[in-house]
Amino acid sequence: MEKTNKAFLILIFILTVSNFTNAQSNNADAIIGTWLMPDDAGKIKIYKENDNFNGRIVWFKETEKDGSPLKDKNNPIDSLTTRTIIGIKVMDNFKFKGNNLWDEGTFYAPQIGKITTPKCNLIDNNHLEIEISFWLFSKTIELTRDVSL
């Protein structure tokens, strides 16, 4: 009888851990928050709109020579080159795919004026990897959750 109880307890433990892991990997809202760009160059606030996840630049370290907020001067649309980078929607319409993956959205990189369709992978609660590809060039950037708030 004692062996049966131990086996039953082990089974319950395994099922509990499995359900906890699945719950973590299926938390679509886990990406929501403010994230620091590499080298603390700026901050992106990721938010949910309907069932999509979007992100805006809410702070950017680099400024124009006169100290004013940096402009979107590399934008391929001439009428947008004078807008400030702060406030730009850089992540648009990402969908949660499960297993800590958000996909199918677009990412605008204002530093080079290009749009790409990366995958976002939540490594853990405080680290988000974004795999960006432009033609043959590919790069993974890691954002760190801003816990200073």
Could you tell me the domains of the chain?
A: 2-145 (2.40.128.520)
- Separate counts of helices (H) and strands (E) for the chain: 1, 10
pLDDT at 134: 73
Q: Is the pLDDT of residue 1 over 60?
A: no
For residue 130, what are the contacts with CB-CB under 8 A and spacing of at least 6? 107, 118, 119, 120, 121, 140, 141, 142, 143
What span, in angstroms and rounded, lies between the C-alpha atoms of 131 and 7? Answer: 43
Unique residue bearing structure tokens 């680290």: 127
Q: Is the pLDDT of residue 114 over 70?
A: yes
pTM score, two decimals? 0.80
